[in-house]
Amino acid sequence: MIIIDLIYNLAILIAISILAGFVDKRWSRFTKTGQIIQGVLFGTTAIIGMMQPFVMSEGIIFDGRSVILSLCSFFFGPISGIIAALFAISYRIYLGGSGAIMGVSVITASTLIGLAFHILKKSNSLKTTTLNLLYLGLAVHIVMILLMLTLPSSMQLVTLKKISLTVIIAYPLATILIGKILKDQEENQSMIDEIKRREENYRLLIENQSDLIVKVDIDGKFTYVSSSYCNTFGKTEKELIGNKFLPLVHQDDQQKTIEEMKKLFIPPYQCYLEQRALTVDGWKWYGWADKAILDSKGEIIEIIGVGRNINEKKEYENKIKNLNVELEEKVHKRTIQLEDANKELEAFTYSVSHDLRAPLRAIDGFTKILQEDYFNNFDEEGKRFLNVIRKNTNKMDILINDLLLLSKTNRANLRFTVVDLEKLSQIVYDEIADSKTKEEFIFIIKQMPIVEADINLIKQVLLNLISNAIKYSGLSDTKYIEIGGYSKGKENFYYVKDKGAGFNSKYIEKLFGVFQRLHHSRDYEGTGVGLAIVKRIINKHEGKVWAEGAENEGATFWFSLPSSK
């Protein structure tokens, strides 16, 4: 039967096509040698098919050469396709007969159609899918049916009736089947080639890597060493494999290495360690990034380590360490010198301020006597001079008091007690605000956290800040003072806010300096020491002080204190 004969013929073709896969492993299809061998193999296969054909009549035979030649051209390209076609054409001419023209034409057409599909595949316009293999089989065998018209006229209709249905159904299916086999072989070979390429790249990368790469088993014995490792330690791979790495590590670093590598046995199964190792150039520092390799059961099978020379880094670290020690010593000496200078300055300030008081009071006292007993003996200019003298001696007395307070603040020892700033703010306000001030001002105390601090010094802080708020709101239409605070983390934050004259934020750095004033004395009296005292007190409490404000828009003075001592 025609179907059985054709199936038998196609089975031979399938078996031969499998052989193409083995050939491709030995001689790649991407080489000319491989393409020539594949051409010979497929051409031979076509000849074997023609040796076992379905014979329609004398000289008219049908076999699977159209399938094998189209697939040869499609998968292996023009060199293989042409060689296979020449083999098949030669044998078909040798067989002769009335179907020779059709036979040669089918061979030529199958090869050309296969090459057309190959060109489309190579340009990425066509993928090797089942559907495209079907299109290839249909194209070849529709042409084959058309070429039956080249048979003698007496055989055309008989041949068409007898074999066309089988050709248009069985042959495309055979094309799909053999094509899938060849596709799998192609993909497998591509995968093998890619694995080989990657292995080669990996090998070249490892062999030319300046970093040291090793593998050890769970007992610490080498299972792999890179050439860079061998060169560094002056040993051959044979001398290292199977031996433990630890003897190469400096004795002082061995225990630390063992302890650090224990991390490899718990997630995330990695560690980093630094150690000295005995190289051909002597003891050198290396940093190792180690990673444990686990099997499918989660068991550690080996450890891979990548080491890098960090000797230069260690030398820099030692230099920095030595520089830090020297710097700390210099800072310590300079701190002692600065403390001594500050103590001397404070003693000088206290002494000068204290000694100035006696003559200042004498001047003020004698001026007062002149005003009380001899005032009418002076003309108007003399009377003005007496008032100026008394006014300035009073101002000088305030300045001396502030300097003494500043000096006392620096020398004071902190006595921590629990301080309720809400109550303390009210006490301070009541002490410094007269009845007129209390009538004019809106004074608001919001909730504030309790803190441990020196109550006398914190009272001075509030006194200075509230006094400033009253003073700098004197010329403002809105006389408003608000005091509040809150806790955040390990700090308490407090503020005193007013809607007075404010200040130019460009000069904010001068606010807390001694004798620094941002307003003219004719508008607002003061010595320029009050905020410096605030800063000293808050600094002694390990807090911070800062301000926010703008000209004619008021100011807010903040200070922070540790929430607990």
**147-192 pLDDT tens trace:** 888 888 878 887 788 778 877 888 888 888 888 887 877 777 777 7
What is the percentage of the chain residues whose pLDDT exceeds 90?
33
Tell the residue number behind the tokens 């003698």, with chain if given.
Answer: 152
Ranges 22-26, 125-129, 471-475, most confident: 125-129
**Tokens of residue 62, six digits:** 């049908």
Cα–Cα distances in angstroms (integers) from residue 37 to residues 41, 124, 522, in the given order:
6, 26, 110
- pLDDT tens-digit series, residues 215-230: 999 999 999 998 889 9
Task: Enter the pTM of the model.
Answer: 0.41
pLDDT for 108: 94
Report whether pLDDT(62) > 80: no
- pLDDT tens-digit series, residues 83-105: 999 999 999 898 888 888 988 99
pLDDT for 63: 72
Beta strands 212-216; 300-309: pairing state: antiparallel
Which of 4-8, 106-110, 328-332, 555-559 bottoms out in mean pLDDT, i.e. has the lowest?
A: 4-8
**Tokens of residue 362, six digits:** 């004498």
**Tokens of residue 544, six digits:** 């911070």
* Separation of CA 431 from chain center: 59
Tell the residue number behind the tokens 């002080």, with chain if given.
Answer: 545
β partners of residue 283? 278
pLDDT for 472: 83
Neighbours of 469 (CB within 10 A): 26
**Tokens of residue 109, six digits:** 């057409």
pLDDT for 348: 56
Instruction: Evaluate whether 285 touches 313 at the Cβ level (below 8 Å).
Output: yes
Neighbours of 417 (CB within 10 A): 11
> How many angstroms separate the most distant Cα atoms in the chain?
164
- As a whole number of angstroms, the distance between CA 18 and CA 35 comes to 16
| HSE-up (13 A, CA, CB side) for residue 370 | 17
Tell the residue number behind the tokens 């360490």, with chain if given.
Answer: 321
130-146 helix and 65-76 helix, angle to the nearest 10 degrees: 130
